[in-house]
Structure 1
């Protein structure tokens, strides 16, 4: 089995080396497309088709529904499998490149095997939303995984550079906020209860989208630590899509649904917006 993987890795490495003349342009184009997509979705400010809004008729198509849990378990793996494979076939990666790529792998392992497996198994999302999310994760995994392991160049002292140190610290702080906030959301309802409740505790005392704030901090830190256009493009898209679109939609929904919802809470950034 290992011999087969070795030959496969060598073959893919040769193929990627052959298209290397064009690959930088391809990766850069994906990054630019991500910035444009983030800008468009932010300006459009359309209510997301997540489970809580489907009952309100927020659906852009007649796409069939599927389990949100299954969708998550199928969507996220490509975002860590592809970077892992990129690390395996890379001919230029240093230990610094590997460390930075591993941060992305850690995030999506958590999203798959902790967040995904613990999701409510009864909630639904449209199939076309799953398809778009899965495509995005695969493209993003390729863009960042490939660039970080093959093309990004760092000085030998990058691990002590303030951008790396602060960026990695922000990454893990953001991840901790995200995981803790997801834990609060999962435990809002007691066994047998249905319906929605007001989140309490943690950063939910300050913002409606504490989980989204954590993820924004996480990917901003990642972009700072990597210091590349590609990771910055992903951080920009994340801030626009989950920060402006999802967090603000949730904030408006909470205010409309609960008369006693804390008016002092912001949408996504504590004390600001």
Structure 2
């Protein structure tokens, strides 16, 4: 049994009713510490961030505290109130629900009020709607049954920032322009043409491949676990994050159907964000597995970047 001093990371904003010390064993995890410290003040344990003396957050909730050299050297934990939290599952469900509802409501319910027309959707517009909605329904399914998150929660207020990308760029942005009676989608291909078919095939290939890579990634971590591994198999020999590559292929298929600058705008923003994540992922894998990880030159698109 070891006794550690407990202090607020931000002295100007101390955590109320925070114990001054805590006893740990050689089996006590970061999550155990959170739960013990939360009891006196009736805190949500997920609101408490645990830091070492260098103010580095201990993200791995299953990490054994006694094995953290920075903690044991100073015999002290720093604690910070991270604010109201939401589970990552809830965050993703909310993020993806927006595009689903918007891309159904605008063409099927709100079109007469927005565009002042009762003209039916073109075949291409129906196809575009089905592809966009199906993409986000797939994401909802993966959130509930495939993905395994290393972090349990995120700050509540981040939901607004995170949702903006999906609700506006793939929600209002796509819906307003793609389903308009004068849109290029409606005018260029009122019936299903060869480019529509090619887009649908590319979309299906991208979505199925993306799902396959997500399953591969989920198998690297036990249920509720935080461990990491080296992803291998289909796509992972080409780039760091083939799941992003296949997602871009799927959206290229959507672009073949919509033929809209609004789709290009969404894809550009998505590519930019995914590239940042992929570069970070490549650096993390090189650092964590320096002797066993095969370094990748390209993080998303083979031979491009």
Residues 255 and 187 (structure 1), Cα distance of their counterparts in 2 relative to 1, 3 Å cut: same
TM-aligned CA deviation for residue 203 of structure 1: 0.6
For the pair 1:159 / 2:188, whether they are aligned, the reply is no
2:199–2:257 contact (8 Å) kept in structure 1 = yes
- Within a 5 Å distance, the mapping from 1:112-151 to structure 2 comes to 112-120=140-148, 123-140=152-169, 141-151=171-181
81, 87, 101: which one aligns with 1:81: 101
Partner of 1:12: none
1:11-69 Cα offsets, whole Å, 9 max, x none, are xxxxxxxxxxxxxxxxxxxxxxxxxxxxxxxxxxxxxxxxxx97579xxxx66543111
Partner of 1:103: 131
Is there any run of 5+ residues in structure 1 with no aligned partner, and where?
1-52
TM-aligned CA deviation for residue 106 of structure 1: 0.4
SS of 2:187's equivalent in the other structure is: coil
Partner of 1:224: 256
2:95–2:166 contact (8 Å) kept in structure 1 = yes
For the pair 1:249 / 2:280, whether they are aligned, the reply is yes
Residues 184 and 103 (structure 1), Cα distance of their counterparts in 2 relative to 1, 3 Å cut: same
2:240–2:282 contact (8 Å) kept in structure 1 = yes
TM-aligned CA deviation for residue 143 of structure 1: 1.7
SS of 2:255's equivalent in the other structure is: helix
1:187-234 Cα offsets, whole Å, 9 max, x none, are 113457541111111111222111111111111221232111111111
Residues 264 and 160 (structure 1), Cα distance of their counterparts in 2 relative to 1, 3 Å cut: same
Distance 1:254 1:67 in 2: 25
SS of 2:220's equivalent in the other structure is: coil
Residues 117 and 127 (structure 1), Cα distance of their counterparts in 2 relative to 1, 3 Å cut: farther
Partner of 1:186: 218
SS of 2:142's equivalent in the other structure is: helix
Distance 2:59 2:142 in 1: 29
CA RMSD, Structure 1 to Structure 2 (Å)? 2.7
Distance 2:265 2:224 in 1: 42
270, 274, 289: which one aligns with 1:258: 289
Paired residues in the alignment total 216
SS of 1:159's equivalent in the other structure is: coil
TM-score, structure 2 normalization = 0.63
Residues 270 and 123 (structure 1), Cα distance of their counterparts in 2 relative to 1, 3 Å cut: farther
Partner of 1:269: 301
Structure number with greater CO (CA < 8 Å, separation at least 6) is 1
1:48-106 Cα offsets, whole Å, 9 max, x none, are xxxxx97579xxxx665431111111211111111111121233322321111111000
1:248-272 Cα offsets, whole Å, 9 max, x none, are 1111111111111102563112244
TM-score, structure 1 normalization = 0.70
Partner of 1:43: none
The structure that is strand-richer by fraction is 2
